[in-house]
Amino acid sequence: MSAGGGAVALPQPVRPGEGTSLRLKVEQASYAYAATDRSAPKFTLGPASFEAQQRELVAILGPNASGKSTMLKLLAGLLKPLSGRIEVDGTEVSELDLKVRAQKIALVAQESELLFPLRVWEYVLQGRYPYGKRLRFESDEDCLLAGNALAQVGADALRDRWMDQLSGGEKQRVILARALAQQPSLLLLDEPTQHLDIGGKVELLRRLRRLADENRYTVIVVTHELNLAAEFSDRIVLVHKGKFPRIGTPAEVYERELLEEVFEAPLEVETGYSGRPRVILRATR
Amino acid sequence: MVCVVSLRMGAYPISVRDIVSTLFNAATGRREEIPVEFWQVVFGLRLPRIALGILVGASLSTAGAGFQALLRNPLADPYVLGVSSGAALGAIVSLIVAPHTVGAIQMAAFVGAASTIAVVYFLGRRGGQLDSPTLLLAGIVAASFLSAIIMFLLTMVTGSELRSIAFWLMGDLTAPPPTTNVLGWLGFLFFVFIVAAGAMYTTSSDLNLILTGEQEAKHLGVNVNRVKFVVYIAASVLTGLAVSVSGAIGYVGLLVPHVMRMLFGTDYRMLIPTAAIGGAIAIVLADTLARTVVAPTELPVGAMTALAGAPVFIYLMRRRMR
């Protein structure tokens, strides 16, 4: 994968000649946390198997501490699976060189605190790091791609603002823009809707859907938003206490008994306006 | 310009014109035309001292910028963190054990600096995370503990090779070169500086990302552990280098990178060189002031930098606590 691959005008991850549309392949992947190297694992995850094609949006759902974020870290290559394989574009993720990995996979983590003031523009340009040579300043191509990334999230106007002066929604868009500037095949997001109001949540999911449809990204999002996930995603990965009780389309996963057991709440599943399942809480005092 | 001003000022009066003609005559090889006292003042005393000031200022500022990134703390500085005291202790021990080995004092100062920052780093963590107030407290405690050992050592051991307690605790540029080959000695010091500062500079674009967050830097493909190791070694070498020749001069590593950030932004590719230049200017200026405000006696240059640096430190700290 060359830096930019000649596709200067459009920040699309797809290079000419790329044959298969299969982006992500998870095969019997598992992981375990332990207090020390020798003690019995405190928490085990998996094994999990699923796939994601290009243009697909996959939601990872589950209660707190179920293993969602660990799954995402495995996909990002930050953790090495204990067993099984995780392949992106046909290569085992944990074996990729750090920079090559950052060219294939972008991770939008939960918010971090900035120590020194930084402009939006400088922040988005950081996304070009994996393509840079040591000590080289950004090229015109880097600037063009960073500009495109900002435009894709509708944040052109924020360019010269300071990061710490942005609202939650604006900040989220800028963080997403930096991830897009990486030109990844796989876009991973860890609870991106957390600090957004309801309008912001819908807007973000719409944007991710559009990125998948129009720009052929594969988007994997960890979220607590059951209804938005059902509405926007192609595939749901349900996680519960480190196990994967069901993986499939929203219609296949959203069954009342299953969701009630996983989320430990009285729920009702019905069909929404769009024909996709919808979850409502059975109000009980 | 700062150098000329610094050459001009001092207990011995010498005009700018005389300085320029001395330098000119020296540069064109007409040494016999220079009055002996001018030669003595300019080349024997003030120029080596300015060169030393440039070295010390550039080293401390670069080390400060490095520690700030390494510890993700804008208040980090070799002096505040106790690293300078560690380097001073190392230097003193080497002077006691092996007073005549060339380069031993720099090596020992480096070891002292590197061990101190390692200890402060581990003391400065809370729940596995670096915690800013804890880190600074750990640094201050380390500094006072090491200072106590320095006082103890210097009081117990009286040798002609050892300089005064004040030199190691406050720092000044009055140390005479250890050899008669002043140029060779300065050359050695500058060579070490270039290597260490250069090594740190190669990590500058990685440091930009690490400052935004270590995890995020990893996601973007930065080899965080390797970068931190390089910066840790380089900043310790620079601190050891500065302290071995000037004692523990404080706050330059805090003040200068901060001013440069305000002037040129937070990009380390700009910050490292500008901090080095700014630090050199700051120390030469501070030393010139130290030599002249109460002439013919001299203040330690460390007293000047502390006068300027301590209020800024308080200001920065209060702004962060808000």
Residues from chain A that touch B201, judged by Cβ atoms under 8 A, are 135
Where b means 16+ CB within 10 Å and e means fewer, B141-171 reads: ebbebbbeebeebbeeeeeeebbebebbbbb
Report CB contact under 8 Å: A102, B220.
yes
Asked if the C-beta of A106 comes within 8 angstroms of chain B's C-beta atoms, the answer is yes
B211, B213, B221 member nearest A129 (Cβ): B221
pLDDT at res. B4: 63
Asked if the C-beta of B219 comes within 8 angstroms of chain A's C-beta atoms, the answer is yes
Asked if the C-beta of A114 comes within 8 angstroms of chain B's C-beta atoms, the answer is yes
Distance of residue A119 Cα from the nearest chain B Cα, in angstroms: 10
Lowest mean pLDDT among A205-209, B11-15, B100-104, B150-154: B11-15
pLDDT at res. B31: 66
**Taking CA atoms, what residue in B is nearest to A126?**
B209
Give the predicted TM-score (pTM) of the model. Answer: 0.81
pLDDT over 90 percentage in chain B? 20
In sequence order, the 6+-apart residues with CB closer than 8 A to the CB of B158 are none
Chains A, B: CB contacts within 8 A come to 66
pLDDT by residue (tens digit) across A110-123?
766 677 778 899 89
B211, B215, B261 member nearest A109 (Cβ): B215
Q: Is the preceding peptide bond at B176 cis, omega within 30 degrees of 0?
A: no
pLDDT at res. A20: 55
Q: How confident is the model at residue A152 (pLDDT cuts 50, 70, 90)?
A: confident
Report CB contact under 8 Å: A78, B219.
yes
pLDDT at res. A195: 80
pLDDT at res. A3: 43
Asked if the C-beta of B220 comes within 8 angstroms of chain A's C-beta atoms, the answer is yes
Where do the structural domains in chain B lie, given as residue ranges?
1-43, 59-321
- CA dihedral (B210, B211, B214, B216) in degrees, to 10, reads -90
Report CB contact under 8 Å: A129, B209.
yes
**Which of A73, A116, A134, A187 to probe the B interface (max B CBs under 10 A)?**
A116
- CA dihedral (A65, A71, A73, A77) in degrees, to 10, reads 160
**pLDDT at position B65 over 90:** yes
Mean pLDDT of the region A230-256: 90
Report CB contact under 8 Å: B216, A112.
yes
Asked if the C-beta of A54 comes within 8 angstroms of chain B's C-beta atoms, the answer is no
**Count of other CB atoms within 10 angstroms of residue A243:** 17
Q: How confident is the model at residue A272 (pLDDT cuts 50, 70, 90)?
A: confident
pLDDT at res. B192: 93
Mean pLDDT of the region A247-268: 88
**Taking CA atoms, what residue in A is nearest to B71?**
A115
CB B286 within 8 A of CB B301: yes
Chain A window 157-186: which residues touch B at a Cβ cutoff of 8 Å? Answer: 182
A101, A106, A115 member nearest B74 (Cβ): A115
Determine the Cα angle at A235 with ends A1 and A250, to 5°.
165
Element (H, E) at B143: helix B132-156
- The C-alpha R_g of chain B, in whole angstroms, comes to 20
CATH code of the region A24-33+40-281: 3.40.50.300
Report CB contact under 8 Å: B266, A102.
no
pLDDT by residue (tens digit) across A173-190?
899 999 999 999 899 999
Distance of CA B144 to the CA centre of its chain: 19
ipTM value: 0.76
**pLDDT at position A259 over 60:** yes
pLDDT at res. A114: 73
pLDDT by residue (tens digit) across A58-77?
999 989 888 888 899 889 88
Distance of residue B138 Cα from the nearest chain A Cα, in angstroms: 20
Residues from chain A that touch B208, judged by Cβ atoms under 8 A, are 126
In sequence order, the 6+-apart residues with CB closer than 8 A to the CB of A249 are A234, A235, A236
pLDDT at res. B14: 66
Q: How confident is the model at residue B292 (pLDDT cuts 50, 70, 90)?
A: confident
- The C-alpha R_g of chain A, in whole angstroms, comes to 19
- The DSSP annotation for A160-219 comes to TSBGGGS-HHHHHHHHHHHHHHT--SEEEEESTTTT--HHHHHHHHHHHHHHHHHH--EE
- Give the position of tokens 């061990």: B115
Residues of chain B by 3-state class (helix, strand, coil), percent to 5: 75, 0, 25
pLDDT at res. A187: 92
Asked if the C-beta of B224 comes within 8 angstroms of chain A's C-beta atoms, the answer is no
Residues of chain A by 3-state class (helix, strand, coil), percent to 5: 35, 25, 40
Q: How confident is the model at residue A2 (pLDDT cuts 50, 70, 90)?
A: very low
Q: How confident is the model at residue B194 (pLDDT cuts 50, 70, 90)?
A: very high
Instruction: Report the candidate in B239, B204, B212, B207 with the shortest Cα–Cα distance to residue B224.
Output: B207
Q: Which tokens in the block code for residue B56?
A: 């010390």
Beta-bridged to residue A79, according to DSSP, are: none
Beta-bridged to residue A267, according to DSSP, are: A281
More confidently predicted of A103 and A134: A103
Distance of CA A20 to the CA centre of its chain: 21
Distance of residue A44 Cα from the nearest chain B Cα, in angstroms: 22
Residues from chain B that touch A107, judged by Cβ atoms under 8 A, are 219
The answer as to CATH 1.10.10.10 being correct for domain B59-321 is no
Q: How confident is the model at residue A5 (pLDDT cuts 50, 70, 90)?
A: very low
